Amino acid sequence: MKSKIKFHSIFYRYILFIVLLPIMLLYSISNTTVIDITFFDYTLTINEEWLKYIAIAISIISVGIFSFVNWKFYICKEGIYLRKIDLFVPWNDIVAVSHIWINECGRAGGANRFYYNRKTLVIYREKYKPICIYNSSLFALYLAKLYNSEIKTNIISSTVATTFNLILNGLVFYVLWFKHLSNIKFDIFTVWVVMYAIKSLILPLLMVKCQNKLYGTYLSHDTVYKRNPSNVIHI
């Protein structure tokens, strides 16, 4: 097992997006070179260009830290090792591996809730329940296919979905960074809303439905009343 690649949680990307979005919104709607932000009785003056550098610095630091700490699993030529449950699954026991989005409905303190498309690596096994590794990179699916070319995957559909997600999020920051909100027309904004609805609701539903049809009804999305309803091992 000398040749192994470790994978970390990508949940930080969701938090990073939430942090960067208001920074870029503030930059985009500002028409002055200086921005005053008031915290109680204290006023913080920030140069408009500083917001760009702050966003870049936060991104680099976040990626640098969370790409090296607290790995969840590794993939090697012999199989997949899951750190949390200390389980090694050899390729001979794996029927298929897929990368899908499972919607999470969680609490963010009190009655507040948040909804998140968990990028999930699903390991289907011959005689046991599937294993869901939440917040996993699509690269893990490619690596699994590389080490075991005979294994079944959904590599095409997952790649299309991930590309769509990257383009959509990238366009948001591109417009905020270079075009500013004043140049956005209502019809374009409406198209964005529709695209995000497709990404957040329709694509996850289609992914789960397709996998359940192929390998059995194991996967389910969160609801307001129940978290992690999937009949799997959760990691």
pLDDT tens for each residue of 12-51: 888 898 888 888 887 777 655 566 666 666 666 666 777 7
Residue 136 exposure: Cα atoms within 13 Å on the Cβ side: 31
In the prediction, which pLDDT does 116 show? 82
Residue 212: what pLDDT? 95
Tokens, residue 227: 């978290």
Residue range(s) defining the domain that contains residue 48: 4-234
Token pair 């993939």 in the structure block, residue: 75
Distance CA 203, CA 180 (A): 29
pTM: 0.85
- pLDDT of 52: 79
To the nearest whole percent, how much of the chain has pLDDT over 70?
85
pLDDT band at 160 (very low <50, low <70, confident <90, very high): very high
Per-residue pLDDT, 106 = 65
The predicted pLDDT at position 34 comes to: 60
pLDDT at 29: 72
- Each residue of 101-126: b (16+ CB within 10 Å) or e? bbbbeeeeeeeeeeebbbbbbbbbee
Q: Work out how many domains the chain is built from and give that number.
A: 1
Burial 29-53 (b: 16+ CB within 10 A, else e): eeeeeebeeeeeeeeeeeeeeebee
pLDDT at 108 over 60: no
Strand 71-76 relative to strand 42-47, pairing: unpaired
DSSP reduced 3-state for 41: coil
Query: Which residue has better confidence, 89 or 178?
Result: 89
Mean pLDDT (whole number) for 142-158: 95
| Rounded Cα gap, residues 91 and 203, in angstroms | 29
Per residue in 204-230, pLDDT (tens digit) is: 999 999 999 999 999 998 877 788 888
Do the beta carbons of residue 82 and residue 19 sit within 8 Å? no
